[in-house]
Amino acid sequence: MKRVQFEHSPIPYLFVAPQIIIIVIFFLWPAGQAVYQSFLLEDAFGLSSRFVWFRNYSDTIFSRAWLQAFNFTIIFSMLVTFLSLGLALLLAVKANEVIRGASTYKTMLMWAYAIAPPVAGLMGNLMFNPLIGDLYSLMNAIGFDFDHKLQAADASFVVVLISVWKQVSVNFIFFLAGLQGIPKSVNEASILDCKSSFRRFWTITFPLLAPTTFFLMVINITYAFFETFGIIDTTTQGAPGGATTTLVFKVFQDGFRGADIGGSSAQSVVLMLLVLGLTVIQFRFIEKKVHY
Amino acid sequence: MKFLTLLTAGMMTAAIPAAAQTDIQWWHAMGGRLGEVVEEIAVKYNASQDTYNLVPTYKGGYEDTMTAGIAAFRAKQQPNIIQIFDAGAATIINAKGATIPVADLMANFNSADYIEGVRYFYADSDDKMIGMPFNASTPLLYFNKDILAEVGIDGPPATWEEFEAMAPKLKDAGYQALAQSHSPWIFSENFHSRHNLQLATSNNGYDSTDVKILYNNDAMKMHWGKVKEWLDADYYGFYGRAWGDNQDAFVQKKVAMWLGSSGSFGGLAKSAEFEFGAAELPYWKSVTDEPYGTFIGGAALFAMSGKPAEENAGVADFMAFLTSPEMQYFWHKETGYVPITNAAYELAKADGYYERTPDAEVGITQLTRRGGEWTKGYRLGFYVQIREVMYNQYENIFSGSSTVDEAFEAMEKESNALLDRFNASMN
């Protein structure tokens, strides 16, 4: 076999250069710094520094607070992902069937997309304020002994509710676009074959939406892991008893508030590996079931 | 071309007056009304002399300001003066070479000029002052005079025993008796000072970073057992960790008494639509017959190292200005923070300030009460994280997911692990 040699032009490299530079500056370089710092134990001002092998990692992984945050993060991201995907899918399917005033419905449902997580958090915090919050009063009025300042389950409910509410509209937009991308002829053909709209949805529509769902799942897990920081920070701040502390929030608490640079670097490296692993799993196992 | 030359010339002339003065950068954490007073201080200082130009910059909350200062120091872009809060004291003071002790920086510095309760907190183990206390506050009990009169209680409780006796009356009248805004500061750190109890080994941490926490003691467990009882009996209201949420409960007359800071006075005077008074932090008669003084909270100003000598001279000059009796009295009146020097206290007294507003003196009286072995303060590393541990465990006590004993054991274990890490980072 003779190798074919093509003339290389430098122009393609030029075109991808901006993207590469951005990745290097905003991802590779800081990530490298984090890995480097995670092996050092130093005072906050960087005046004394010592190489400590894996002490930062062992202090992290074996601490009760980190494990608590780890467990919460897993449960929290599962809940947020499935609830916001499920609700958005339901809303998208229903909104897609609406004929009169369709654009009004759709606009209203997309509304919350423009709201940043910290703003959603602040609004939620106000609504759940024990002194003036309407939702707080409502929860107690309908018989719950609701106290998110002290009860872990109630506090989790608050952060999940706000995180899902914020994310539903994003998912809704994608699902709606996905639904509209399904050819009419396929739907019409299926109506002839099957009377039950419920079955039609699960056998025809849902599989055709799979690429969208898969994409959204990846996006939503990342959202639940990282972007919900703004919601946690403006509502519970990890309370009560650390029950709503996510891993990202803990990195922030230890690194940015507590000035423990080595410890929080180790935590971010672990978090990075975790998300990396999760993404690999998603692409290796779940994507196989997706037909494009 | 001609235009450009003119422009450059214009810019240069414009820059001359500023260049003649040395800029002094001051990063602080005083927002809202307090931030305005800081700006006023800068204006007053800049008007008082021509050599230096003080530039205050608001950097967010206490933790944000400390983080900004640390990041700036590591990038060699540090300001001249940085405001660091009590929980960050160990971080900055143990970083030898990050700051210049104010006792060295200022000419004719004499720590005896400072009020007893203020003098030691930001000092090293030889009582040499490293940071200059700036917004010095102490926990106080605020009480709603209208509610107490309505229920027929003469005055605020001096001891927790008295509090326990009056709480049921308040409850019957439809009020929660008490809320408080900072359980690590009020119900832990100052609790130890008020009863003269040791809170950490190595002289409360002043002598060494190799230190163990002593919060897991009988007096603390007794106190928290009581607080939990009060919570269950609805004598005590818990409105979350946030300072303001608990203060709001007091302002909205849900609770009759609130433990806050002496620095809260100004804000309360504006927001409360009822007559309120301030009293000293209650103590347990069963623990000590007579209460001891508390130590200051709030924050101090630190002169950062690695700056040119003329800027350091400016920092010293400003610190002298700031600690002058007139400025201290101004700060005291505007904010409710206590004056830090004896001379300023005397000036306020001579001016008749405390006859007009007796509540303003309570904080100083409390700070100058008899000192004991354990009333100087504490010096504990990673204390921001330790406070987080404390908050978590107190919430566990409140929610009932831990018993008092379990919570304090967990607190001791986790705090000591953090202190051990901090110690390792210093050696």
Query: What domains are defined for chain B?
Result: 21-137+296-367 (3.40.190.10), 139-294+381-426 (3.40.190.10)
Q: A-chain residues within 8 Å CB-CB of B271?
A: none
Q: Do A65 and B238 touch (CB under 8 A)?
A: no
pLDDT of residue B269: 86
Which has the closest alpha carbon to B178: B279, B82, B269, B83?
B279
Q: B-chain residues within 8 Å CB-CB of A52?
A: 424
pLDDT higher than 80, residue B9: no
Name the residue with higher pLDDT: B261 or A287. Answer: B261
Structure tokens at A130: 């024990």
List of E strands, B146-217: 176-180
pLDDT of residue A106: 84
pLDDT higher than 60, residue B12: no
pLDDT of residue B98: 94
Best interface-test mutation with A: which of B82, B180, B399, B403 has the largest number of A CBs within 10 A? B399
| Three-point CA angle B382, B388, B389, nearest 5° | 90
Upper half-sphere CA count for residue B92 (Cβ side, 13 Å): 33
Contact status, residue B367 vs residue B141, Cβ threshold 8 Å:
no
Helix axes A64-97, A206-222, angle to 10 degrees: 140
| Three-point CA angle A120, A124, A125, nearest 5° | 115
Q: Do A65 and B414 touch (CB under 8 A)?
A: yes
Q: Residues in chain A whose beta carbon is closer than 8 A to a beta carbon of chain B?
A: 41-48, 50, 52, 55, 59, 63-65, 129-131, 149-152, 237-242, 253-254, 256-260, 262-263
pLDDT of residue A236: 95
Best interface-test mutation with A: which of B386, B392, B426 has the largest number of A CBs within 10 A? B392
pLDDT higher than 60, residue B157: yes
Residue pLDDT, tens place only, A14-68: 999 999 999 999 999 999 999 999 999 999 998 888 999 999 999 988 999 999 9
pLDDT of residue B263: 86
On whether any CB of chain A is under 8 Å from the CB of B403, the answer is no
Q: Using pLDDT thresholds of 50, 70 and 90, give the confidence band for residue B10.
A: very low
- Cβ-based burial of B272 (10 A; exposed 0-12, middle 13-18, buried ≥19): middle
List of E strands, chain A: 40-42, 49-51
Dist. CA B123–CA B402, nearest whole Å: 37
pLDDT higher than 50, residue B15: no
pLDDT higher than 90, residue B404: yes
CA distance A273 to chain B (A): 24
For chain B, what is the mean pLDDT? Answer: 92
pLDDT higher than 80, residue B96: yes
Size of interface A-B (CB pairs under 8 A): 109
Q: Using pLDDT thresholds of 50, 70 and 90, give the confidence band for residue B52.
A: very high
Task: List the single residue in B66, B391, B427 with the smallest CB-CB distance to A239.
Answer: B391
Contact status, residue A175 vs residue A209, Cβ threshold 8 Å:
yes
Which has the closest alpha carbon to B92: B303, B317, B330?
B303
Contact status, residue B82 vs residue B120, Cβ threshold 8 Å:
no
As a dihedral over the C-alpha atoms of residue B254, residue B255, residue B261, residue B265, rounded to 10 degrees, the angle is: 60
**Length in residues, chain B:** 427
pLDDT higher than 50, residue B13: no
Low-confidence ranges of chain A (pLDDT < 70): 1-4
Strand bridging mode B132-137 / B81-85 = unpaired
CA distance B140 to chain A (A): 23
Instruction: Average the pLDDT over B157-167 and give the result.
Output: 97
Q: A-chain residues within 8 Å CB-CB of B240?
A: 130, 149, 239
Q: Do A258 and B66 touch (CB under 8 A)?
A: no
Output the DSSP codes for A96-111. Answer: HH--TTHHHHHHHHHG
Q: A-chain residues within 8 Å CB-CB of B398?
A: 150, 240
Best interface-test mutation with B: which of A40, A257, A261 has the largest number of B CBs within 10 A? A257
What CATH number should be reported for the domain whose range is A57-289? 1.10.3720.10
Dist. CA A62–CA A143, nearest whole Å: 40
Q: A-chain residues within 8 Å CB-CB of B87?
A: none
Task: List the single residue in B73, B382, B424 with the smallest CB-CB distance to A258.
Answer: B382
Contact status, residue A221 vs residue A83, Cβ threshold 8 Å:
no
Residues 246-285 of B with CB under 8 A from A: 248-249, 252, 254
Q: Using pLDDT thresholds of 50, 70 and 90, give the confidence band for residue B381.
A: very high
On whether any CB of chain A is under 8 Å from the CB of B212, the answer is no
Burial A252-279 (b: 16+ CB within 10 A, else e): bbbbbbbbbbbbbbbbbbbbeeeeeebe
pLDDT of residue B19: 53
In this prediction the ipTM stands at 0.89
Best interface-test mutation with B: which of A38, A57, A145, A149 has the largest number of B CBs within 10 A? A149
Which has the closest alpha carbon to B317: B36, B128, B80?
B80
Q: Using pLDDT thresholds of 50, 70 and 90, give the confidence band for residue B80.
A: very high
Which has the closest alpha carbon to B185: B251, B232, B230, B243?
B243
Contact status, residue A146 vs residue A154, Cβ threshold 8 Å:
yes
Task: List the single residue in B88, B396, B424 with the smallest CB-CB distance to A241.
Answer: B396
Output the DSSP codes for A45-56. Answer: TSSSEEE-TTHH
Best interface-test mutation with B: which of A38, A45, A59, A253 has the largest number of B CBs within 10 A? A45
Continuous segment of H or E residues that includes residue B227 = helix B218-232
Residue pLDDT, tens place only, B199-242: 999 999 999 999 999 999 999 999 999 999 999 999 999 999 99
pLDDT of residue B332: 93
Q: A-chain residues within 8 Å CB-CB of B96?
A: 47
pLDDT of residue A2: 58
Which has the closest alpha carbon to B82: B67, B97, B95?
B67
Q: B-chain residues within 8 Å CB-CB of A263?
A: 421
pLDDT of residue A24: 95
State the sign of the Cα–Cα–Cα–Cα dihedral A200, A202, A206, A207: negative
User: Closest chain B residue to A263 measured between Cα atoms?
Assistant: B421
User: Closest chain A residue to B423 measured between Cα atoms?
Assistant: A43
Q: Do B401 and A239 touch (CB under 8 A)?
A: no
Dist. CA B202–CA B180, nearest whole Å: 30
On whether any CB of chain A is under 8 Å from the CB of B305, the answer is no
